[in-house]
Each structure stands twice: as structure tokens, then as C-alpha cells.
């Protein structure tokens, strides 16, 4: 498996993956959105046998970096792909000088919450009825600079 920064040639593959991962009510990203994010934000892909099997998107236009989206195709889950994608995003955020990484996650997504906690994220707020279906979200935060202190 290779983790690398996404390139413009990846737009069609990312869009196809997005359609498999997220239904319409979850506002999947368009081809144009992927092209924009490749140019302006952090977008890493996980590639196996020249096929993109996952990605992570971090928005970096603000004071703090924000994990916007992460996804791994169902047939490749459980292989630590999401963990490796997140580690790449965290390392790049640190190298760019961001002092905090934020994310929102559904309170009923125990698998993702567990992964985020293992990587050092902490729940800082409960966001009531954050999602369209009424589900709450946790706002989670990571101070990536703490990961590299002795």
C-alpha cells in the first residue's frame, strides 16, 4: 500500500470512490470539489495495485487544520488504511505549522471515535442534531505538536 498526495489525475477515481462511500444526503464531493481540494488543501490517497482504496481530506485555509472527510472502500476496511491516512495528514499538518487539528464525527460511529482517540484526539464538545438525520456529533481536537514531545 502506498500513501501519497492526490494529483489531478486522481479526480475521476476519487469521485467514483466517493459515490460508493457516501449517499446523496451525506453531500458527497463532486469532481470539481476534488480538483479544487487537490490544489488548495491536503488530500492524501491510499493506493493498492494502482487503485485508490481510500482518502483523507484536511482543510488548511483556516487558523486550524480541519479533517473534512475520510473514507476507505468497504472491501479494504480493517487493514489500518484509515490510520495510515490520518497519520500522513497529521504529519503534514505539523510540517505546515498548524497547532490544532479539528474534526466532527457522528456520536454513533464508535469505530471512528476509537481510532481518533488512539491517535490522540479528544472530545471537546457535543454538537446537538449536527447531521441531517438528527444525529449528534462530537467535535474532536488534536494538538499535533504534543505527539512529538518527549
Judge contact between 9 and 47, C-beta under 8 A. no
Decide if 121 contacts 140 (C-beta within 8 A).
Answer: yes
Question: How confident is the model over 23-37, as pLDDT tens digits?
Answer: 766 778 999 999 999
The domain that holds 24 is classified in CATH as 3.40.630.30
Give the distance from CA 49 to its chain's centroid.
Answer: 22
Which of 103, 91, 102 has its CA nearest to residue 145?
91
Residues 19-71 have pLDDT tens digits of: 999 876 677 899 999 999 999 999 999 999 999 999 999 999 777 899 999 99
- Strands of the chain (E only): list them: 2-5, 42-48, 51-59, 65-72, 101-106, 122-127, 137-142
pLDDT value at 110 more than 90 = yes
Residue 30 main-chain phi, psi, to 5 deg: -90, 170
Instruction: Tally the domains of the chain.
Output: 1
Residue 127 lies in domain: 2-148
For cell 499535533, name the residue. 144
pTM: 0.90
How far, CA to CA in Å, does 48 sit from each of 51, 124, 125?
A: 5, 35, 36
Amino acid at each position: 500500500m502506498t500513501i501519497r498526495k492526490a494529483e489531478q489525475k486522481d479526480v475521476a477515481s476519487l469521485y467514483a470512490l466517493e459515490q460508493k462511500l457516501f449517499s446523496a444526503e451525506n453531500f458527497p464531493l463532486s469532481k470539481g470539489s476534488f480538483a479544487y481540494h487537490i490544489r488548495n488543501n491536503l488530500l492524501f490517497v491510499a493506493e493498492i495495485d494502482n487503485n485508490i482504496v481510500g482518502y483523507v481530506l484536511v482543510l488548511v485555509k483556516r487558523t486550524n487544520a480541519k479533517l473534512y472527510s475520510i473514507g476507505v472502500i468497504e472491501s479494504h476496511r480493517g487493514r489500518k488504511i484509515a490510520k495510515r491516512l490520518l497519520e500522513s495528514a497529521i504529519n503534514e499538518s505539523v510540517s505546515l505549522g498548524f497547532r490544532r487539528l479539528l474534526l466532527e464525527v457522528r456520536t454513533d460511529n464508535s469505530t471512528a471515535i476509537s481510532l481518533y482517540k488512539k491517535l490522540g484526539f479528544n472530545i471537546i464538545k457535543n454538537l446537538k442534531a449536527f447531521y441531517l438525520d438528527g444525529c449528534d456529533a462530537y467535535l474532536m481536537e488534536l494538538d499535533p505538536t504534543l505527539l512529538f514531545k518527549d
